[in-house]
């Protein structure tokens, strides 16, 4: 008699057949179901029945899709967590730790055994699994492999088991060749893609990026799931991801003894089959298998997709006419997923276009495009001006020696306005980014982009279509437009949406209704997450790859109830706009035609050498640089600070006021002989005190330095954040937090190995501008001592941890410090009170020095020159690893920018926010009010992914600045600066347009 166990997971169906003694008879082949769960289930069951006939006495199910089928067919079911452990313990007796990675889940099991049971009776000592994000799972790796291997809109491609497996095999094989994995942030799928694109555009070898992805995946698992748990051997790795040799190698970095057991993809199926034997489950389907496809459920519905107000031209081709002379301007848009060019003549007419996948190789793809242009023009092509845009604009611009390198916001706006001078709103959806642009009198005056969520982007549609085995070109829109009553899907992230689609499909929803519902979901995601409360005008133009999809255009039309303008050739609008911009420079005499050997460029063998950057003796990041040979011309790329990426700009560099503030900050502490990373001398016999340069210390370190140095203690302030400190912090956290808290863990960990005692105060609040304001720090800052102590297993006796209210009088603060000091080290209260007063004077003096500089900067401008005022928390504003060297980036672009600490905010009226709880929230909103009241000031706010207080303060910030353009930059552990620079450069152009219209008196509100 035989028992069949089936694990019906998010991505695949796995099966095991065992006999009644529990012996393994057969492992069924790994099978991806592409969302067609019922169909594949029926196929598998039919095959097994045909093979085993009446000897098959039991079918038991597990997995995320198994429960519904079990309920419909009256079959036994067990949760996959239990089934996986049962199967693994059977195959690997005595296993203590199980790491499981499947399509959507990443889990950790820690196993114990009853004494005297000879390893047979196990129990779960501990368990942890991922949250709702797909990062760190099999689907996540699948997406990255597909993105690098295939075009977004390639009609010849059809996802299938064989195709995807081949792509994954090649992907892994290439990564295994790497000896130097690149740093890739893997906490969020969007940041991962940003890091990978940035690395590709810098020319990082693909094998290093792929390896870095897997090592980042392992680090993310260790940080978020393992935490501070002790991992006991033997350790085994199971699930679909255990077939990935590169992921196994990455895990061996942390767990050298990890092994991949036999049947690793089918442990859940084996476990549920063994459970069936143990519990006496002898059940076969009680109904005909057709029952699972005829269920009748009541779904939320919406109206069908119809194009009634918009004109949609199915033919988007360009007829290439024969001509003797090809002369004009070339725009190249190097995007995250596709690269395209537009070649125009002197009148702006489009002569030729080409649209191909980037494939992670921007320079090679552009070489291919140049070859296409040469072939089209028979080699007779004279370029009068050349411009690049898109995420790869800088490195490709350098390679082709472009006349203009421009951000994609400006390029798309220029192309759209040329196509329709009356357009007032642009929706642009690309593979990685979604953009909103507001146009006033032909110029962009406001914009926004998606931040951390891929929902509402082209990759969102593409990845979900792939899961359902649907080609995104043609087939997708035909299926969607055929729906008479689309299902109303919630606007959620890719992972949630994938689960929703699977859940609805399980309940009998038709493919047509789901795909149509997905089009609506993309539109709602875009409007709510990107556009938000910004105005949408009467003439809306839709650009980007998804605008070629009739169903998505119809969804926009229905939701907005207005016509959507979809011009021909819109998929190359960024390249077209770039070509128009360089044409205008040519007409103004700013560009002179140069001899370009396109054939030589297209055929050039691009080589590079790797060197370590030594440009700044004070920098210890040791960034890898790539010194390229671009057809005999040396070009340097790489590094975290952007030093080399902008070396080709023409802007006059201005003062880096973030850097100036930091110089004053560290100079102040050096008066007490405190230098980051170096132990200062102290009185003999006193322990070395460690102080982490993170969180509130980025503002209050001088205050604490004065106190401990005046008491005579030797002091060690941790160094400025390095990549290594950040990485160790990420590995150390035991819960999901914002990146600054992770980095704080890294600083404390660095100090813990070098000092006798750690100073980790519980700071509750800060001095506020008004007695009515509470001035509280966020809970994670207040409790930093607790979370790092438990995460790093620190001895409480080594920690000085006073609970301090910084708005209390000096004597109260002195009392708290005395109480927290060990008995033999307690200072005299009266002495300490005097020292605390001195420390406040020093801190206040530092603050006054910044205000004095700020007054001088603003007065010199006199409202004529725009000044950016950057708000945020001190650790975002001044830790250059956290803000990706923003101060340097702005200064090199000639942008005058100061932080809110340079501005007197005490006189701002906060009566409309009477119960502002957060201290930094008050400062941020006061800064917004100050910016709103003063001409020539513009607001930039720095925030972090997963910042709780900013989740609502950001909305208030935008509300206060509703009459001015404002920029919000969201940071996390990623190192990719390209996305930040795109937003900065676009915002700079928006500010210039706004200033021009303000000074000319042409400002007008948009008609709604």
- What pLDDT, in 10s, does the model give residues 695-747? 999 999 999 999 999 999 999 999 999 988 998 898 888 877 899 999 999 99
Rounded average pLDDT over 602-631: 74
Supply the DSSP symbol for 487.
B
In CATH terms, the superfamily for domain 448-566 is ATPase, nucleotide binding domain (3.30.420.40)
3-state helix, strand, coil in the chain (%, to 5): 45, 20, 40
**Beta bridge pairs of residue 60:** 5
The residue written with tokens 């219209």 in the block is 997
The tokens of 792 are what?
A: 């790093």
In CATH terms, the superfamily for domain 1-92+264-293 is ATPase, nucleotide binding domain (3.30.420.40)
The whole-number pLDDT of residue 575 equals: 96
Which of 553, 92, 578 is CA-nearest to residue 341? 578
The whole-number pLDDT of residue 532 equals: 82
CA-based end-to-end distance of the chain:
72
Q: Which residue ranges does the chain devote to CATH 3.30.420.40?
A: 1-92+264-293, 138-254, 326-418+572-603, 448-566
Query: Quick check: 975 and 195 in contact, CB under 8 A?
Result: yes
The tokens of 640 are what?
A: 């975290």
Task: Give the sign of the dihedral formed by CA 569, CA 570, CA 571, CA 575.
Answer: positive
The whole-number pLDDT of residue 1005 equals: 47
Which of 746, 686, 753, 745 is CA-nearest to residue 715? 686
Task: Give the sign of the dihedral formed by CA 313, CA 317, CA 323, CA 328.
Answer: positive
How far apart (Å, rounded) are the C-alpha atoms in residues 1003 and 550? 35
| Those residues with Cβ within 8 angstroms of residue 383's Cβ, 6 or more apart along the chain or in another chain | 328, 329, 330, 593, 596, 598
Rounded average pLDDT over 648-672: 88
381-389 and 12-19 beta bridge pairing: unpaired
In CATH terms, the superfamily for domain 138-254 is ATPase, nucleotide binding domain (3.30.420.40)
Give me the sheet containing 689-691, strands edge to edge: 715-717, 689-691, 757-759, 799-800
Residue 920 pLDDT exceeds 60: yes
592 burial (CB, 10 Å; 0-12 / 13-18 / 19+) is exposed
pTM (two decimals): 0.77
pLDDT band at 152 (very low <50, low <70, confident <90, very high): very low
Query: Quick check: 792 and 745 in contact, CB under 8 A?
Result: yes
Instruction: Please tell me whether residue 402 adopts helix, strand or coil conformation.
Output: coil
Q: Which residue ranges does the chain devote to CATH 3.40.50?
A: 849-1000
Query: Quick check: 776 and 782 in contact, CB under 8 A?
Result: yes
The tokens of 151 are what?
A: 């075009």
Task: State the virtual CA torsion across 447, 944, 200, 382 in degrees, nearest 10.
Answer: 20
The tokens of 28 are what?
A: 């069924």
The residue written with tokens 């699972």 in the block is 292
Query: Quick check: 571 and 487 in contact, CB under 8 A?
Result: no
Rounded average pLDDT over 935-955: 89
The whole-number pLDDT of residue 480 equals: 93
How far apart (Å, rounded) are the C-alpha atoms in residues 448 and 529? 10
The tokens of 502 are what?
A: 């699977």
The whole-number pLDDT of residue 648 equals: 47
Query: Quick check: 554 and 307 in contact, CB under 8 A?
Result: yes
Which of 200, 635, 211 is CA-nearest to residue 625? 635
The whole-number pLDDT of residue 502 equals: 64
Domain 326-418+572-603 has CATH 3.30.420.40: yes
Which of 561, 520, 368, 502 is CA-nearest to residue 63? 502
Residue 40 pLDDT exceeds 70: yes
508 burial (CB, 10 Å; 0-12 / 13-18 / 19+) is middle
Residue 17 pLDDT exceeds 70: yes
Residue 1006 pLDDT exceeds 50: no
How far apart (Å, rounded) are the C-alpha atoms in residues 639 and 619? 11
The tokens of 888 are what?
A: 């340097």
CATH class of 849-1000: alpha beta
């Amino acid at each position: 008699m035989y028992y069949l166990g089936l694990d019906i997971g998010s991505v695949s169906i796995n099966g095991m057949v065992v006999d009644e003694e529990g012996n393994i008879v057969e492992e069924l082949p790994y099978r991806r179901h592409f969302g067609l769960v019922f169909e594949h289930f029926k196929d598998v069951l039919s095959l097994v029945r045909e093979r085993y006939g009446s000897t098959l006495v039991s079918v038991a199910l597990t997995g995320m899709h198994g429960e519904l089928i079990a309920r419909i067919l009256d079959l036994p079911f067990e949760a996959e967590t239990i089934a996986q452990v049962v199967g693994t313990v059977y195959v690997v007796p005595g296993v203590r730790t199980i790491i499981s990675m499947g399509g959507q889940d990443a889990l950790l099991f820690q196993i114990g055994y009853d004494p005297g049971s000879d390893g047979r009776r196990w129990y779960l000592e501990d368990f942890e699994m991922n949250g709702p994000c797909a990062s760190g799972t099999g689907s996540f790796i699948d997406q990255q492999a597909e993105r690098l291997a295939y075009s977004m809109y390639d009609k010849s491609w059809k996802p299938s088991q064989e195709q995807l497996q081949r792509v994954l095999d090649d992907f892994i094989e290439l990564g295994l060749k790497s000896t130097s994995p690149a740093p890739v942030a893997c906490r969020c799928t969007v940041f991962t893609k940003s890091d990978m694109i940035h690395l590709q555009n810098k020319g990082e070898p693909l094998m290093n990026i792929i390896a870095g992805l897997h090592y980042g995946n392992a680090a993310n698992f260790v940080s978020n799931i393992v935490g501070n748990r002790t991992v006991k051997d033997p350790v085994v790795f199971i699930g679909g991801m255990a077939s990935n040799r590169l992921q196994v190698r990455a895990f061996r970095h942390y767990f050298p003894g990890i092994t991949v057991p036999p049947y690793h993809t089918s442990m859940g199926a084996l476990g549920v089959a063994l459970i069936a034997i143990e519990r006496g489950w002898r059940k076969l389907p009680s109904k005909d298998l057709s029952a699972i496809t005829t269920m009748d459920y009541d779904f939320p519905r919406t109206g069908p997709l119809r194009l009634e107000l918009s004109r949609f031209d199915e033919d988007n081709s360009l007829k290439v006419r024969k001509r003797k002379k090809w002369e004009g301007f070339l725009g190249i848009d190097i995007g995250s997923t596709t690269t395209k060019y537009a070649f125009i003549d002197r009148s702006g007419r489009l002569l030729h276009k080409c649209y191909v996948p980037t494939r992670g190789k921007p320079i090679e793809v552009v070489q291919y495009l140049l070859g296409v242009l040469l072939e089209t023009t028979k080699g007779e092509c004279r370029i009068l001006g050349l411009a690049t845009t898109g995420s790869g604009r800088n490195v490709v611009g350098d390679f082709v020696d472009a006349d203009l390198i421009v951000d994609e916001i400006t390029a798309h706006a220029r192309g759209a306005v040329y196509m329709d001078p009356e357009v007032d709103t642009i929706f642009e959806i690309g593979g990685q980014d979604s953009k909103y642009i507001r146009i006033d009198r032909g110029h962009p005056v406001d914009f926004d982009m998606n931040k951390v969520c891929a929902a509402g982007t082209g990759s969102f549609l593409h990845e979900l279509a792939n899961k359902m085995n649907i080609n995104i070109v043609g087939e997708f829109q035909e299926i969607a437009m055929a729906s008479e009553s689309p299902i109303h899907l919630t606007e959620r992230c890719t992972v949630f949406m994938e689960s929703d689609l699977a859940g609805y499909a399980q309940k009998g929803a038709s493919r047509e209704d789901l795909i149509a519902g997905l089009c609506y979901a993309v539109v709602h995601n875009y409007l709510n997450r990107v556009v938000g409360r910004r105005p949408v005008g009467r003439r809306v133009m839709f650009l980007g790859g998804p605008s070629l999809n009739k169903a998505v255009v119809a969804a926009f039309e229905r939701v907005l109830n207005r016509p959507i303008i979809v011009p021909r050739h819109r998929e190359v609008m960024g390249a077209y706009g770039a070509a128009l911009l360089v044409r205008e420079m040519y007409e103004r005499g700013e560009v002179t035609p140069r001899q370009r050997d396109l054939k030589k460029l297209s055929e050039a063998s691009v080589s590079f050498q790797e060197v370590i950057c030594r440009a700044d003796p004070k920098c210890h990041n040791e960034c890898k640089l790539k010194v390229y040979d671009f057809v005999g011309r040396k070009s340097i790329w790489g590094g975290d600070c952007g030093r080399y990426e902008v070396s080709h700009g023409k802007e006059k560099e201005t003062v880096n006021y973030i850097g100036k503030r930091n110089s004053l900050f560290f100079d102040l502490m050096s008066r007490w002989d405190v230098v980051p990373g170096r132990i200062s001398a102290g009185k003999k016999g006193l322990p070395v005190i460690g102080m982490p340069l993170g969180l509130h210390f980025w503002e209050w370190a001088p205050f604490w330095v004065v106190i401990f140095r005046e008491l005579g203690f030797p002091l060690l302030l941790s160094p400025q954040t390095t990549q290594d400190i950040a990485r160790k912090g990420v590995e150390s956290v035991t819960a999901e937090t914002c990146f600054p808290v992770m980095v704080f863990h890294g600083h404390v960990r660095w100090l813990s190995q070098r000092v006798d005692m750690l100073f980790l105060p519980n700071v509750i609040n800060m001095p506020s501008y008004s007695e009515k304001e509470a001035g509280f720090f966020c809970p994670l800052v207040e409790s930093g001592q607790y979370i790092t102590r438990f995460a790093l297993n620190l001895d409480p006796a080594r920690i000085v941890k006073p609970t301090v209210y910084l708005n209390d009088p000096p004597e109260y603060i002195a009392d708290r410090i005395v109480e927290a000091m060990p008995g033999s080290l307690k200072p005299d209260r009266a002495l300490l009170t005097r020292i605390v007063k001195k420390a406040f004077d020093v801190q206040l003096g530092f603050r006054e020095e910044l205000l004095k500089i700020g007054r001088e900067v603003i007065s010199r401008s006199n409202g004529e020159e725009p000044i950016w005022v950057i708000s945020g928390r001190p650790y975002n504003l001044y830790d250059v690893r956290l803000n990706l060297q923003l101060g340097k980036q702005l200064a090199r672009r000639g942008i005058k920018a100061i932080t809110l600490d340079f501005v007197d905010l005490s006189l701002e009226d906060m009566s409309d926010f009477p119960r502002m709880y957060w201290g930094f929230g008050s400062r941020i909103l006061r800064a917004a009010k100050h910016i709103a009241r003063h001409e020539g000031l513009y607001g930039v706010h720095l925030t972090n992914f997963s910042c709780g207080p900013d989740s609502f303060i950001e909305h208030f910030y935008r509300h206060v600045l509703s009459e001015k353009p404002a920029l919000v930059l969201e940071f996390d552990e990623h190192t990719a600066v390209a996305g930040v620079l795109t937003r900065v450069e676009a915002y700079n152009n928006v500010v210039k347009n706004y200033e021009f219209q303000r000074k000319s008196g042409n400002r007008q509100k948009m008609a709604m």
